[in-house]
Amino acid sequence: MRHYYIFLTACILSGCNGYITDANDASQTSTDIATLEHHSHGENENHTHDSIDITNKILENRATNCAEYANTYTSDVLDIQRDLDFEGNLEIVLENGKCLFNTNSIPNHNFNDGGAHFATAVSEVNKTFKVTQTPTPAASTTPLSLRTDNAIFLNGVKLDLLAAGCFGIGDGRIGCHKMNAPFRYDPMSPASSFGTDSHNAHTQPDGTYHYHGNPNALFHSDQAIESPIVGFAADGYPIYGSYFDDNGTVRKAASSYQLKSGTRVAQNGINPGGSYDGTYIDDYKYVKNLGDLDECNGMTINGSYGYYITDAYPWVLKCFKGTPDASFNKR
């Protein structure tokens, strides 16, 4: 059994049973709701509160500074298909203007359910990610890379959007490590078969559980409630759920990417044929001001920039507005 810690402050965690799929279940309050006192953090200041169980809890905190999440939480979860209990750990501590996420990569919800087919069994994998407390925009955006993880969620699970699979290379699902290779598969496409569970997650060869899109667990995804921050990108900017307040109307943020029209055109002599249907990330194009979000899938509200989880491509983020921390580089 392994202990799972998440450090959160200035938040109220609402309980729910099982997966966060039913609006009524997800909105129920119970006697074990943990209400945390709001604190401001100085340099190198860390909290030593007792651990609080956040198993299957929905987050509500919207504090944009990662330092506001320095505290300890626990959860007990189940690998459904293996009928195996897991406990994990996540520590978020402050050091030299950064938040250190020390995690064993175990989520706060059950996993490996439904039609999931994990090539490798989930394992406890210890990792440390560093997030700046003061993100700033870079001179130019940084594209996503197979060499860099994208973000860390507030349940200790990382985001790794890109697949190492392209049409015509290997078996199509692995072995495509060149970033300029055309027709890279989108793991979130219904036409792709990446063996993900109901949380849009599966494992890497070392057993690391990671998301390719919406975790379907950390925020109300079926209610028009302004979404909390659910994680932080490698550049330090926060990641929100799907909903935002648009001048008094709470609604889902809309991506500015759309499918290209017509049939696919060969790239570097490679062409899988067929119409642009979202099987590959090359099937999409960015159209400025088409939706609410910019080319990185983020926007600024009340002076604060953040990325948003969307129901359509690119799902969470497409590029980094700031400078990714080197701790997100893969070995």
- Kindly list the averaged pLDDT for each block of 10 residues, start to end, along the chain of length 331: 38 32 32 31 52 89 95 90 94 96 96 95 97 98 97 97 90 80 94 92 96 97 94 98 97 98 94 96 98 98 97 98 98 78
The pLDDT of residue 291 is: 98
Distance (Å, rounded) from C-alpha 129 to C-alpha 69?
14
First to last CA, the chain: 27
The pLDDT of residue 320 is: 98
| pTM of the model as a whole | 0.87
Distance (Å, rounded) from C-alpha 211 to C-alpha 140?
26
Distance (Å, rounded) from C-alpha 126 to C-alpha 88?
10
Contact 158, 208 (CB under 8 A): yes
**Half-sphere exposure (CA, 13 Å, Cβ side) for 166?**
18
The pLDDT of residue 49 is: 56
The pLDDT of residue 10 is: 35
Residue reference for tokens 């890379």: 145
Return the number of other C-beta atoms located less than 10 Å from residue 179's C-beta.
Answer: 12
Distance (Å, rounded) from C-alpha 189 to C-alpha 283?
11
Helix (H) or strand (E) holding 35: strand 34-35
